[in-house]
Structure 1
């Protein structure tokens, strides 16, 4: 064999860590991934911050609305308490009038009850006399109340 011909030798694969261009490319890619990760993290954090700020503004509006509602209810309570005091004064005045009325009218009421009893006694007496007289008409004259005619004299 001639000396110029050499047997085929499989080329050796380069170690990427040994090649400065490949190593620099790997470093650049790692740095880009790290930057992208940082950017995403910052983006997520800023998104959360913005979301929290919006929620805070919404809660502040709700708190303000509740405070306004409290003021409205306070005003209503004040009005109702004023009305309550007015009604209590009116009740006291009316109670005083009722007490005076009872003391003034009490004797008249007793007299009225006595008069009612007297009228009842008189009515019962008149009723019994009417019954007796009606019975006398039936017994003596043949009067029959159911068959009374318009031209009868009694």
Structure 2
């Protein structure tokens, strides 16, 4: 999602999300999810707004956001490719698949291709251990990856 919003508009839209959820029990994670859903990432300027609304320090909000790998502090590419890095996938050749995907895309984990088409993210278990190594492209699971199927997945992501 490409946004050309000013700081004021981001603050206003984030404020609406924060206000709608701040009375929930344990509102921080739902607020972060809501903001990421709205913008495609959690703009850094929204962290102080969240902290103030929930009476938390900015460090606490930043710590929670950076602890969970699904939150982004910058926009993702048009497609998000997640590769499982958990032990089951590693034991079945996941490291080789990951290296091949990184080579094909020309990026490392937590990066986006220069053309903005693909963001590559590591995840620590997709719950498909019996079909490892696994990946998820735009929410769709792919199992039993090898060098050839990894190339096919990258081609699909590049389209």
Structure 2-normalised TM-score?
Answer: 0.15
Query: Over alpha carbons, which structure has the higher Rg?
Result: 1
Higher relative contact order (CA 8 A, sep 6+): 2
| Structure ranking higher in strand proportion | 2
| Structure ranking higher in helix proportion | 1
